[in-house]
Amino acid sequence: MTDIRQLQPTNVWQWFADICSIPHPTFHEHQLADFIINKVNTDGQKFGLTIEKDSVGNLLIQKPASCGMEQHAPVAIQAHYDMVAQKGTNSVHNFETDPIETMIKDGWVWANDTTLGADNGIGLAMALAVAFSDDIAHPPLRLIITSEEEVGMGGVQGLSSDWLQVPYLLNLDSEDSGELFIGCAGGRDITFSKTYQSQPLDLTKQPDLTKQTLDLTKQPDLTKQTLLTLKVSGLQGGHSGIDIHKGVANANLLLGRVLSVAYQTAPFGLVSLHGGTLRNVITREALALLVGNKQQLQTIVDQECEIIKNELQFSEENLSIELTETDIEIDVQSHQQTELTVLSTQDSKHVIDLLNAIPNGVIRMSDSFVGVVETSLSLGVLRLDQGELSVKSLMRSLGESQKDALAHKIQALADLADVSVAFSADYPGWLPDPNSYLLQLGQRIMQDYFGHAPKIQVIHAGLECGFLKAKAPNTDMISFGPNIRSAHSPKERVEIDSVAQNFAVLLEFLQALPKMA
């Protein structure tokens, strides 16, 4: 079988196929929104559906209770309809115009060298399958479909609390089947920036890299300078929250490490840096354009490459670190001719030192939840162009006080390094409620369905439940979903059997909700 529309349950997979056929990366969800609105206004009439769209692109679909469940407590099913846009090095996919190409392999649905969008398209498909049905028992129903979740959670931030006036909410944005999620981390964006003086690069006459450089003992041999590209690639990448504790290598950090070691022996001038595209993705590829002595640097880079490959031989078996000569007429970012500028060796060292000093990875594990990360940082985006440096990280923490404490440390680092730092896009965590009725109900449902008690989880990622709970503190919430692996990377995939399992669990939840008091 190659057509995902033939998978079971067909109503879920047909919706997911439709979702994949319509481009919907973050900030470009309008085509998918229009499709859903049109379906509700045409096919949805016979199911009693109504729909409205707010000013930030969120959708609210309402459906009356099925026969016999009119007196049961209303429930909201919540999912987001944007997706992360990441593709492999050789992919020519355009996320704004091209459909996602799906394939079935070994019991999983994959995309063709791009993100699949199962995060959160498969949850959305399950919700829509319930709405567009006449044979599923459910109480009065609200589908809350949010926009811009993957970058800044703009949709849920703009959501009206009036939409959340229900006693229960089922979030379908989790990625481990048979588990119930009752809490999540909050987050905060961090952006380091600085403008360095740079000079036009003209290799027909050697750049004066000694300009503004105080350490004259570390000057390169300017008669043997070459424009070079140092590239780190082949990493597996992943989700900057869920995968932060798994030993997944970050290309930005490896690039900084190799640059630092190389500089100690053969100083050079940095022309540009380019790594990553999103804060919430562990960077798979990064490169530096530099002016230096090829012969000296090649030996050092090769040696450091072997050391790093040995360290990461089990976690990053496809790691590649290459130093190559570069055509000055080609911009490594846009593949177009461009004017290049180069930093002095002193400023180049300053950039490299900053890159190596920024914390990354797990900062602290939780005392309250065994095996759960409490606080972390991930350096997602690195840019240096025309002397303008920008380094973007994402901070996550279960608690607000821990998040604030880490922000103070980051500010201190920025002050010592004489760079600017800005904090933005703060969003709250979702604190667990051990007395949750949905938790007790979910434990009973999953015990009966799977034959064992579900694992109760607190996820180190930003579920929208943090904002939802802040807007509706009295609404009982829980999150669950099928097995999704390598979300936010071109290896993203969703397990077919687990989709059927979690759809069945969703239907059990809907039938088991109590009558209103």
The catalytic site residues sit at 82, 149
Q: Which tokens in the block code for residue 24?
A: 């919907």
Q: Which distant-in-sequence residues (6+ apart) come within 8 Å of 482 by Cβ?
A: 118, 122, 175, 177, 494, 495, 498, 499, 501, 502
Return d(Cα 325, Cα 227) in angstroms, integer: 6
Return d(Cα 273, Cα 230) in angstroms, integer: 10
Q: Measured at the alpha carbon of residue 168, what is the angle toward residues 164 and 173, in degrees to the nearest 5?
A: 85
> Do residues 395 and 190 touch, judged by C-beta distance below 8 A?
yes
Could you count the other beta carbons within 10 Å of the beta carbon of residue 359?
A: 17
Instruction: DSSP letter for 134, please.
Output: S
Return d(Cα 155, Cα 147) in angstroms, integer: 4
Residue of 7, 29, 26 whose CA lies nearest to 17: 7
Q: Which tokens in the block code for residue 288?
A: 């530096």
- Which value, in Å, is the radius of gyration of the alpha carbons in the chain? 25
The residue count of the chain comes to: 517
Which one-letter amino acid corresponds to residue 475? T
Q: Where are the beta strands (DSSP E) in 185-221?
A: 186-195, 198-200
> Do residues 466 and 427 touch, judged by C-beta distance below 8 A?
yes
Peptide bond into 25 cis (omega under 30): no
* Dihedral angle computed from the Cα positions of residues 135, 141, 142 and 145, in that order, rounded to the nearest 10 degrees: -30
Return d(Cα 10, Cα 14) in angstroms, integer: 6
Scanning 286-339, the segments in alpha helix (DSSP H) are: 294-311
Q: Where are the beta strands (DSSP E) in 6-58?
A: 50-53
Could you count the other beta carbons within 10 Å of the beta carbon of residue 370?
A: 7
What are the φ and ψ backbone dihedral angles of 111, each rounded to 5 degrees?
-105, 170
